[in-house]
Amino acid sequence: MSMRLFRTWSEVPPPLKGGVLALGNFDGLHLGHQAVLAKTVETARAKGVAAGIMTFEPHPRMFFKPDQEPFRLSPFRIKARLIEALGLDYLFVQNFDREFSQRSAESFVADILVGGLGVSQIVVGYDYVFGHQRKGNVALLRELAPRYGFTVTSVGEMALPGGARYSSTNVRNLLKDGKPGDAARLLGRYWEIEGRVEHGDKRGRTIGFPTANLPYRDYLHPRKGVYAVRAGVDRGAETVWHSGVANFGNRPTFDKKDILLEVHLFDFAEDLYARHLRVALVDFLRPEMKFDGLEALKAQIVKDGEDARRLLDARGFTNARAPFVGVA
């Protein structure tokens, strides 16, 4: 059964109420988030009730600071797909607007979680906060639980053995530093950018390296530069993966100012215009730079392609293999 999506609690049918509910923003769905959702599903299955998740749109940080640089690791469409793959029965998307932002922590619990969704158990990360002025936390949930008839499970802090803590902030910092491999170890998969391919300048075709151009709007900006990538091309219900090389940035050689992701797929001759493309950043090759003319640029593109092929081949990728298994 596919996961169901709801945007108001009045839409949630009685069979899905009384279940186990995970709470959080879950930006990026890193391994710590996955542990929270795995506990939610495990507990719900043991109790014979629905496993649900509540998240918030827009992200509260976007609501309070709408003019800040994009920071999201997983815009809503990607997040919903990742959540569904983890086996949840339903996703409840709470609209985060001014009215909701001013709701007290206890009102959120009493009116929405209990009155609206009838939760029997809540699962959160150890540092979860909620309610007006972030006054709600795990301790408050435990205090309110007996009064409203639910239980609380808190998943503790998690980290790589001897390494970084699983957190969206750490993932963002690694991507900004040009370390997609380290970010992948926290995510459990390579970080993806996706979108519908748009027409560009078509300059790549004239120098022998055609690119698929993805506009860049709602995502975190990783380090500008050239990456070895795996790109997934939608073919109906199936996604077919190809190796390639991509440039993220402003294209200073041509005095461009807009941000763009340009992707060149190896040994691929099809037209990708208007197709949906998923691009996973695997390795950072070099920073973006300005070249003295097309010949210098072409020579560097050839070298970038060779470097990307070598790195991707060393990881054993094939077209049948998605980029979120076997992260080394």
SS in 3 state form for 178-219? CCHHHHHHHHCCCCEEEEECECCCCHHHHCCCCCEEEECCCC
Mark whether 28 and 149 lie in a shared domain. yes
Same domain, residue pair 216 and 95: no
**Span 164-198, pLDDT tens digits:** 899 999 999 999 999 999 999 999 999 999 999 98
Are 214 and 99 part of one and the same domain? no
| β-pairing verdict for 225-235 and 276-287 | antiparallel
Residue type, 150: F
Nearest to 166 by CA among 73, 63, 231, 62: 73
Query: Which residues, other chains included, contact 71 with Cβ-Cβ below 8 Å and sequence gap of 6+?
Result: 61, 172, 220
**Domain encompassing residue 96:** 18-155
pLDDT at 44 over 50: yes
Count of structural domains, the chain: 2
Residues 72 and 111 in one domain: yes
pLDDT digits (tens, 9 = 90+) for 103-148: 999 999 999 999 999 999 999 999 999 999 999 999 999 999 999 9
Rounded Cα–Cα distance for residues 5 and 88 (Å): 10
- Among 155, 178, 204, where does a domain finish? 155
pLDDT digits (tens, 9 = 90+) for 227-236: 999 999 987 7
CATH number at residue 290: 2.40.30.30
Which residues does the annotation mark as catalytic? 262
Whole-model pTM?
0.91
Same domain for 80 and 144, yes or no, is: yes
Q: CA dihedral in degrees (198, 318, 209, 290; nearest 10)?
A: 90
Average pLDDT over every residue of 246-265:
79
Q: Is the confidence at residue 46, as pLDDT, over 90?
A: yes
